[in-house]
């Protein structure tokens, strides 16, 4: 299927949709407002109720919800987040969107991020020294570097993957939404898909003009109805599940525990390290996976190795 290049995200439209969907989720009872008998025309709070809770005028909140958030102060954004019962990830997303439409001002200032797809050789050496699966990915879900155990763990994503438009790195979102094997591989596919889209939405808020991320979102929205439906919910979130369950095609079901850590030496990149419970069936499966990786899986994969860009 041919695709048109996706347009850059309209940050003002994103603010409008985000505030509208968050407002619809909050009922008067949730924020201690009296409920007057009779039919309410909106599923959640009214605009005037949000304005009252945030301590701003109705006209000002209306302008904010229409995407006119340029110049909104941190105090106003915090008050709005509290009124809408936003969690930490949703608060961050609101601030990120306000930054995107504010050319100057206090909210605009932030730590500079330099996005790159180049992983330093030393990082690959660290991954290779680990006996358990370990990988480095970026905010778009591209797996930029992995050790042999991580390549074996996610073998369907690396071996015979879905054709990649970018032709560069394996991508978890493309695997989850475009490869039918992912539904067998991830027994809890729906929960994982929801988390993945929420993380991508949060990442998109940090830089609505990122061409690589917008290309990925455009492709997935075009080719996957499941992705498009989840994306339209405007949910955002951090990684919130410490346990991952997979049904590996070679060694069977595994219960994995993992930690993710932002790499201070490479802004925008995250290192993932996996482990299993000692003495469990998953530990035996991990041992079998190690043997399979050493004997059957190719020791190198050009798609998973660091790529120098010039």
pLDDT tens for each residue of 199-217: 999 999 887 878 888 889 9
Average pLDDT, the chain: 85
Which has the minimum average pLDDT: 2-6, 157-161, 250-254?
A: 2-6
* % residues pLDDT > 70 (the chain): 84
Q: Is the pLDDT of residue 150 over 80?
A: yes
- Minimal CA–CA distance to 74: which of 107, 103, 101, 111? 107
Q: Which helix (H) or strand (E) holds 36?
A: none
Burial of 254 (0-12, 13-18, 19+ CB in 10 A): buried
Class of domain 11-108: mainly alpha
Query: What's the pLDDT band for 169 if we cut at 50, 70, 90?
Result: confident
**Residue 159, C-beta contacts closer than 8 angstroms, at least 6 positions apart:** 297
Query: What's the pLDDT band for 273 if we cut at 50, 70, 90?
Result: very high
Taking the C-alpha atoms of 157, 160, 166 and 172 in order, what is their torsion angle to the nearest 10 degrees?
-10
Q: Which helix (H) or strand (E) holds 253?
A: strand 252-262
Q: What is the pLDDT of residues 298-308, one digit of tens each?
A: 554 444 444 44
Q: Is the pLDDT of residue 237 over 50?
A: yes
Length of the chain: 310
Mean pLDDT of 238-252: 87
Please state, in angstroms and rounded to a whole number, the distance separating the CA atoms of residues 135 and 51: 45
pLDDT for 219 equals 92
- Residue spans per domain, the chain: 11-108, 121-304
Mean pLDDT of 152-163: 83
Q: Is the pLDDT of residue 168 over 80?
A: no
CA 210 to chain centre: 14
How distant, in Å, are the alpha carbons of 230, 252, 276 from that of 279? 38, 16, 9
Cβ 169 vs Cβ 143: under 8 Å: yes
CATH classification code of 121-304: 3.30.450.180
pLDDT for 163 equals 58
pLDDT for 38 equals 64
- Minimal CA–CA distance to 177: which of 212, 223, 244, 142? 223
Q: Is the pLDDT of residue 140 over 50?
A: yes
Cβ 156 vs Cβ 182: under 8 Å: yes
What are the DSSP calls for 50-108, one per residue?
A: HHHHHTS-HHHHHHHHTT--TT--HHHHHHHHHHTT--HHHHHHHHHHHHHT-SSSGGG
Strand partners, 259: 273
Which has the minimum average pLDDT: 63-72, 165-174, 232-241?
A: 165-174
Query: What's the pLDDT band for 238 if we cut at 50, 70, 90?
Result: confident
Please state, in angstroms and rounded to a whole number, the distance separating the CA atoms of residues 15 and 66: 7
Cβ 195 vs Cβ 239: under 8 Å: yes
Q: Is the pLDDT of residue 52 over 90?
A: yes
Q: What is the pLDDT of residues 83-139, one digit of tens each?
A: 999 999 999 999 999 988 877 544 444 444 445 567 888 999 999 999 999 999 998
Name all contacts of 190-195 with Cβ < 8 Å and 24+ positions apart. Answer: 191/241, 192/241, 192/244, 193/226, 193/227, 193/230, 194/230, 194/235, 195/237, 195/239, 195/240, 195/241
- Minimal CA–CA distance to 145: which of 270, 249, 291? 270
């Amino acid at each position: 299927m041919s695709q048109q290049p996706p347009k850059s995200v309209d940050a003002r439209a994103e603010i409008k949709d985000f505030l509208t969907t968050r407002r619809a989720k909050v009922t008067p009872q949730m924020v201690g407002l009296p409920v007057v008998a009779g039919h309410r025309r909106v599923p959640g709070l009214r605009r005037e109720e949000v304005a009252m809770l945030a301590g701003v005028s109705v006209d000002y909140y209306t302008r904010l919800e229409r995407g006119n958030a340029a110049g909104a102060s941190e105090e106003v954004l915090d008050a709005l987040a509290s009124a809408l019962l936003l969690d930490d990830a949703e608060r961050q997303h609101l601030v990120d969107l306000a930054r995107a439409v504010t050319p100057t001002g206090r909210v605009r200032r932030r730590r500079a991020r330099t996005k790159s797809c180049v992983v330093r050789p030393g990082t690959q050496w660290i991954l290779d020294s680990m006996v358990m699966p370990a990988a480095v990915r970026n905010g778009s879900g591209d797996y930029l570097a992995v050790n042999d155990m991580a390549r074996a763990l996610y073998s369907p994503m690396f071996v015979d993957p879905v054709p990649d438009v970018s032709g560069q790195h394996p991508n978890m979102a493309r695997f989850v939404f475009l490869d039918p094997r992912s539904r067998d591989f991830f027994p809890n596919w729906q929960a994982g898909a929801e988390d993945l889209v929420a993380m991508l939405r949060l990442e998109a808020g940090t830089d609505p003009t990122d061409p690589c991320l917008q290309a990925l979102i455009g492709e997935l929205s075009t080719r996957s109805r499941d992705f498009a439906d989840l994306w339209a919910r405007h949910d955002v979130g951090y990684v919130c599940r410490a346990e991952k369950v997979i049904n590996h095609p070679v060694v069977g079901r595994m219960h994995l525990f993992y930690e993710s850590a932002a790499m201070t030496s490479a802004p925008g990149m995250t290192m993932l390290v996996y482990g299993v419970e000692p003495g469990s069936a998953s530990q035996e499966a991990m041992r079998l996976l190690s043997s399979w990786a050493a004997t059957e899986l190719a020791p190198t994969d050009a798609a998973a190795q660091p790529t120098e860009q010039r």
